[in-house]
Amino acid sequence: MKSFALVPALALLAAGAHAMNPTDAAFETLADEYVADLASLSPVNATLVGDHSADGELDQVDAAAREEVLALLKQYAAALEALDFDALSRANQVDAALLLHELESNIWSIETLQEWAWNPLYYVRISGSGIYGLLARDFAPLEARLASAASRLEQLPRFLEQGRASLDPGRVPSVHAETAAQQNAGLNSIIDNMIVPHLDQLGATDRARVETAIETARDAIAEHQAWLEDELVPRARGDFRIGEALYDAKLAFALNSPLSRKEIAARAEREYEEVRNRMYEVAQTVYLGLYPMTAFPDDPDEAYRQAIIRAALEQAYRALPPPDGIVEVARQQLQEATDFVVEHNLVEMPGEPVEIIVMPEFQRGVSVAYLDPPGPLDRDQPAFYAVAPLPADWTADQVESFLREYNLYSLQDLTIHEGVPGHYLQLALSNRYPSTLRSLLWSGPFVEGWAVYAEQMMVEAGYQDNDPLQRLIALKWYLRAVTNAIIDAAIHVDGMTRDEAMKLMVEGGFQEEREAAGKWVRAQLTSAQLSTYFVGYQEHVGMRAAVEAAWGDEFTLRRYHDRALSYGSPPVKYVRALILDEPIPRDRAR
């Protein structure tokens, strides 16, 4: 691993010879060195962001490697702390704050959270992404990418052995062990679908090497699968609830927001009631369309309101996609959303390519869909809107439950969230920001909050001809973000049970059983991430209101959206400060 010296960056301060502000010059040197060191921190993550200097290497994950990574992170943090933040440009103040936050987060994760010791999914994701990241995009000739894949497959036995040695079965939660056993088998599908079909394009020598590497990897995967099923799953006794101290620290790192857990909970509880009230108002419109002679009571009780909302939702649930045609429906709806955004001049439409794909098997089990953007260093590559197929072992009732939840109106909302003007559009524009460092250190709440904001904004702009069912479903999806934030902390800190969580999601949030059951699993496997949607949305709404007040008659949606998305994807608090020319927020006194 490269040894990082503090002298070069700090020497620029003393020399003062650089044409730009010497503090800015020192910081940008430091940032460039950090970007160049990505492969030292994780070769697989480096590949995913577009640094292909170590494509043939698979991460080292033993104790010695962790100590080396920690030492490097701490050296960067020390060098960064030595800079005078007040002397930096406003843009560099943001980037420096982001880098320090990232360094401190990673150090805390290794030293304190220690997922490497209790989360077997940590190793499944690295090994799966290590191969998938090489073959999914054409960033280099196929022969070169297959050679890198062969090298990583050859290292898989070592990698998985290090992972097994690092894990403490007594600390591993059973749900993590069981999910890892399900996902580990998916590594073979990556080999079968992304490597084997291309073997005939290789020369004899190269093909022989790849084929041998495949057999080596399959043996390693089988050995690891047996260990997961026969040793880890029976011995996994850890608590999936990470507890108050770890949760609060992880939440602070995940959100990088001034909002605390208690403030988020209070906001979410208030919003929960408000959104349900708005759903009742829209549901009355739907109901009157069916039964125009209905006279609604002036002060209906909760049971009555619940019944009217459910009756209206049933109308949306009549519009079901074909079980085997969800990907094609998403493709059609993506074009519809794109046409609407362009026609109504809502925001700049990027021209970067986007492809809708079936979610890779090793990624399934956590979410129904996701947007996989190209890395900031691979900006000419396509984004992937990945949609999970229905599990083959589901019963007819489970399939129906899923399709009711992901009806055609819901798929419209999902496509807005993941595609246009949600993740695809926002991240494509984000990747244009000139600071590579900022593109690498994007904020989850900014990205997820923008996607939730996009859902509501599109409906407000009249998407789907102001169909009240589309508005009702959009509110239901926002209510999902609200309940996500409630259950996230309640499960990991307050001990919320499965029955309590399911009741809140199914009865309170109008979710179908399959969706709620999947969210319960996701809430166990993750922590702090489910809060990013609600917190990010709240911050985006607050920023828009502040900018609208400041700009007055000069405010337009197009001007605002283009400006808000022009700074990359840092936390909303920084974008707000940049737009309104406010002081750059500081996380702590320096």
Q: What is the DSSP letter of 56?
A: T
17 pLDDT band, cuts 50/70/90, is very low
Percent of the chain exceeding pLDDT 90 equals 83
**How far apart are alpha carbons 321 and 326 in whole angstroms?**
6
**How far apart are alpha carbons 422 and 371 in whole angstroms?**
9
Is the pLDDT at 529 greater than 90, yes or no?
yes
pLDDT at position 365: 53
pLDDT at position 19: 62
Q: With beta carbons less than 8 A apart as the criterion, state whether 156 and 61 touch.
A: no
Contacts of 330 (CB under 8 A, 6+ apart): 356, 369, 385, 387, 411, 414, 415, 419
Is the pLDDT at 481 greater than 60, yes or no?
yes
pLDDT at position 405: 86
Is the pLDDT at 18 greater than 50, yes or no?
no
Q: What is the DSSP letter of 355?
A: E
pLDDT at position 89: 97
Place of tokens 């050995």: 223
Q: Quote the crossing angle between the two packed helices 326-343 and 408-418, to the nearest 10°.
A: 60
pLDDT at position 323: 84
**How far apart are alpha carbons 388 and 114 in whole angstroms?**
29
Range of weakest confidence among 182-191, 197-206, 532-541: 182-191
Q: What is the pLDDT of residues 451-462, one digit of tens each?
A: 999 999 999 999
364 pLDDT band, cuts 50/70/90, is low
59 pLDDT band, cuts 50/70/90, is very high
Task: Give the strand pairing for 383-387 and 369-372.
Answer: antiparallel
Mean pLDDT of 378-402: 84
pLDDT at position 356: 86
Q: What is the pLDDT of residues 233-288, one digit of tens each?
A: 999 999 999 999 999 999 999 999 989 999 999 999 999 999 999 999 999 999 99
Q: In the chain, where are the structural domains located?
A: 7-241, 395-418+434-580
Mean pLDDT of 569-585: 97
Q: How confident is the prediction for the chain on average, in pLDDT?
A: 93
Range of weakest confidence among 141-150, 392-401, 452-461: 392-401
pLDDT at position 14: 47
Is the pLDDT at 561 greater than 60, yes or no?
yes
**How far apart are alpha carbons 19 and 292 in whole angstroms?**
73
**In which region does residue 394 sit, left (phi positive, over 0), alpha (psi from -120 to 50) or beta (all else)?**
beta
Mean pLDDT of 160-169: 98
Contacts of 337 (CB under 8 A, 6+ apart): 412, 415, 416, 419, 420, 421, 458, 463
Q: With beta carbons less than 8 A apart as the criterion, state whether 459 and 421 touch.
A: no
**pTM of the predicted protein model:** 0.92
Is the pLDDT at 197 greater than 70, yes or no?
yes
Q: With beta carbons less than 8 A apart as the criterion, state whether 99 and 31 touch.
A: yes
pLDDT at position 514: 84
pLDDT at position 555: 98
CA-to-CA separations, 302 to 482, 509, 542, in angstroms, rounded: 19, 14, 30
Instruction: Select from 226, 109, 101, 10 the least CA-distant residue to 584.
Output: 101
Largest CA distance in the chain: 82
Give Cα 94 distance to the centre of its chain: 21
Is the pLDDT at 474 greater than 90, yes or no?
yes
Q: What is the pLDDT of residues 92-142, one digit of tens each?
A: 999 999 999 999 999 999 999 999 999 999 999 999 999 999 998 999 999
Contacts of 502 (CB under 8 A, 6+ apart): 513, 516, 517, 520
Is the pLDDT at 196 greater than 50, yes or no?
yes
Mean pLDDT of 52-68: 98
Q: With beta carbons less than 8 A apart as the criterion, state whether 140 and 260 touch.
A: no
pLDDT at position 32: 96
**How far apart are alpha carbons 554 and 377 in whole angstroms?**
36
**How far apart are alpha carbons 411 and 327 in whole angstroms?**
10
